[in-house]
């Protein structure tokens, strides 16, 4: 094995850019590769094409150290790397819930056609179970005589907003490997992380693929579970925030991913559970994960419910009403609007005839690209000025920390719906707002007002 391997990272989107930067930070020589010229230009210039706290600073350090370079040239990549990490996207296919694997296949074929020495090809992309095995066959078919290419799978669990931290200090590493050599070569590529005492689970290729989608399915299920309880709360007068709090003290349940609200979005959870359900169907075990359809539906129902509550508060009809949509990103500290509940709600309000003013501290640009018909405001104050209803859709600190009296002076009528269970209800009620929240009936809000005034 090569003790201090040279690393290539194929595909420098969210995952790949983070991985390349972090590997360079760990002391490896790294070559980042992408077909997108403009992305490579930006990274060379030290700019990260998305909002990710801490990543740009780390990119700057890595470039300055000389350990990180970028190219669009696949020949160069093939010649450079001892270990090649494939980090390209697997978006939802245009015509079904399956994953589109063409980028992954292209990356592995391109490497296989060019590498003429022993090297390890490591898949990091999230793929349907069985893909790695299929790619192994593909690679050995294409690979020129004499090349000794081996394939491994090493899923990635990083969260947006914590990408650097999660990559440098992961909870665990999963090595899907088929030989002792691959295991040792991959271990050499993660030596500094292994030295931290990070647990490693060594598996076959299919298990490694499955770990990723199973983890995301579990997380999505946990969120939809508490949101299902929110539906029950809405019908009974119970309070889902208090319910979640009481559940969270049970250490077997735990409080993380138990936050009720508008539900999950982003580039991973929604797409991964759909692709998993689809793949399970193909494998003849669709029934085993049929509950994932329900998880998806519960999640989508939250968005509809949010619109219902806003409409109700607006007097039963949204036509001509001005609604301030606070947030567009799928979660705070991100500019990602893929499958974002916030933006979906804004779009539904617009379709019902409301004048929607969207403001997000980072995601306005991406949101505008996706839905150019909505109005976008340059500040929170602009968005809420003369609003009939304010809707909190993404729990950015800027929104959570805002002063209810000051906001109250700007709006037309003091009505707010908290879609993320993030606002201080007592403070809003005291400032004279009509306050609604998902999973909590209006009358408990009044009771809390009484308590907080005492």
Q: Which residues are catalytic?
A: 268
Per rule CB under 6 A, is residue 216 in the interface with ligand UDX?
A: yes
Candidates 44-52, 141-149, 188-196, 252-260 — which segment interacts with ligand UDX by CB under 6 A?
252-260
Query: What does the block give as tokens for 88?
Result: 């390209």
Angle between helices 269-282 and 291-313 (to 10 degrees): 140
Dihedrals phi, psi of 176, to nearest 5 degrees:
-90, 105
Per rule CB under 6 A, is residue 268 in the interface with ligand UDX?
A: yes
DSSP-assigned states of every residue in 215-253: HHHHHHHHHHHHHHHHHHHHHHT--HHHHHHHHHTSTTT
Per rule CB under 6 A, is residue 219 in the interface with ligand UDX?
A: yes
Round to whole Å and give the CA distance between 439 and 190: 44
**CB contact at 8 A, 337 and 370:** yes
The only residue of 181, 257, 291, 371 in contact with ligand UDX, by rule CB under 6 A:
257
From the CB of 223, what's the least distance to ligand UDX, in Å? 4
Number of Cβ within a 10 Å radius of residue 310 = 27
x/- letters, 318..337, toward ligand UDX (CB under 6 A): ------------xx------
**CB contact at 8 A, 101 and 134:** no
Candidates 183-191, 216-224, 290-298, 397-405 — which segment interacts with ligand UDX by CB under 6 A?
216-224
The size of the chain, in residues, is: 454
Residue 112 or 325 with smaller CB distance to ligand UDX: 325
From the CB of 64, what's the least distance to ligand UDX, in Å? 28
Per CB under 6 A, contacts with ligand UDX among 138-167 are 156-160
Residue 67 or 259 with smaller CB distance to ligand UDX: 259
Per rule CB under 6 A, is residue 258 in the interface with ligand UDX?
A: yes
The candidate with the shortest Cα–Cα distance to 63, out of 45, 88, 87, 40, is 45
Within 314-441, where are the H helices?
A: 341-351, 364-370, 380-384, 397-400, 404-410, 425-430
The candidate with the shortest Cα–Cα distance to 357, out of 334, 389, 332, is 389
From the CB of 234, what's the least distance to ligand UDX, in Å? 16
Distances (CA, A) of 333 to 16, 161, 264, 266: 19, 6, 15, 12
Candidates 33-41, 257-265, 362-370, 430-438 — which segment interacts with ligand UDX by CB under 6 A?
257-265
From the CB of 97, what's the least distance to ligand UDX, in Å? 17
The only residue of 103, 264, 396, 435 in contact with ligand UDX, by rule CB under 6 A:
264
Candidates 145-153, 255-263, 279-287, 438-446 — which segment interacts with ligand UDX by CB under 6 A?
255-263
Query: Which positions touch ligand UDX (CB under 6 A)?
Result: 156-160, 216, 219, 223, 257-259, 261, 263-266, 268-269, 330-331
């Amino acid at each position: 094995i090569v003790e201090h391997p040279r690393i290539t990272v194929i595909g420098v989107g969210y995952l790949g850019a983070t991985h390349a930067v972090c590997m360079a930070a760990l002391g490896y020589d790294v070559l980042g590769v992408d077909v997108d010229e403009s992305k490579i230009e930006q990274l060379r210039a030290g700019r990260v094409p998305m909002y990710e706290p801490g990543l740009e600073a780390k990119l700057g350090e890595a470039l300055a150290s000389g350990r990180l370079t970028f190219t669009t040239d696949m020949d160069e990549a093939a010649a450079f790397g001892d270990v090649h990490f494939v980090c390209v996207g697997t978006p939802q296919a245009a015509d079904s819930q399956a994953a589109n694997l063409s980028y992954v296949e292209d990356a592995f074929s391109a490497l296989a056609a060019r590498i003429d020495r022993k090297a390890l090809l490591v898949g990091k992309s999230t793929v349907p179970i069985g893909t790695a095995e299929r790619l192994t066959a593909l690679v050995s078919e294409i690979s020129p005589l004499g090349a000794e290419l081996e394939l491994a799978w090493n899923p990635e669990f990083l969260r947006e907003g914590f990408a650097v931290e999660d990559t440098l200090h992961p909870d665990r590493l999963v090595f899907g490997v088929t030989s002792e050599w691959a295991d040792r070569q991959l271990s050499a590529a993660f030596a500094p992380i292994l030295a931290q005492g990070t647990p490693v689970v060594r598996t076959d290729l299919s298990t490694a693929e499955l770990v990723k989608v199973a983890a995301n399915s579990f997380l999505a299920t946990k969120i939809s579970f508490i949101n299902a309880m929110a539906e029950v709360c809405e019908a009974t007068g119970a309070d889902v925030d208090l319910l979640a709090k009481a559940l969270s003290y049970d250490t077997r349940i735990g409080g993380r991913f138990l936050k009720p609200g508008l539900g999950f979005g982003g580039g991973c959870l929604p797409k991964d559970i759909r692709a998993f359900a689809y793949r399970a169907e193909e494998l003849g075990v669709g029934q085993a994960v049929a509950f994932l359809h329900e998880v998806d539906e519960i999640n989508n129902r939250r968005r509809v419910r949010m619109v219902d509550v806003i409409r109700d508060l607006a007097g039963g009809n949204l036509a001509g009403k001005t609604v301030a949509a606070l947030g567009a990103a799928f979660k705070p500290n991100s500019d990602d609007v893929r499958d974002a509940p916030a933006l979906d709600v804004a779009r539904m309000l617009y379709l019902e005839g409301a004048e929607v003013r969207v403001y997000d501290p980072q995601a306005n640009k991406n949101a505008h690209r996706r839905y150019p018909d909505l109005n976008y405001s340059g500040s929170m104050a602009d968005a809420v000025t003369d609003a009939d209803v304010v809707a909190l859709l993404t729990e950015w600190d800027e929104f959570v920390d805002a002063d209810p009296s000051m906001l109250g002076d700007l709006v037309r009528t003091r009505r707010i719906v908290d879609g993320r269970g993030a606002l201080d209800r007592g403070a809003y009620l005291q400032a004279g707002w009509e306050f609604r929240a998902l999973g909590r009936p209006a009358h408990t809000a009044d009771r809390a007002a009484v308590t907080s005034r005492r």
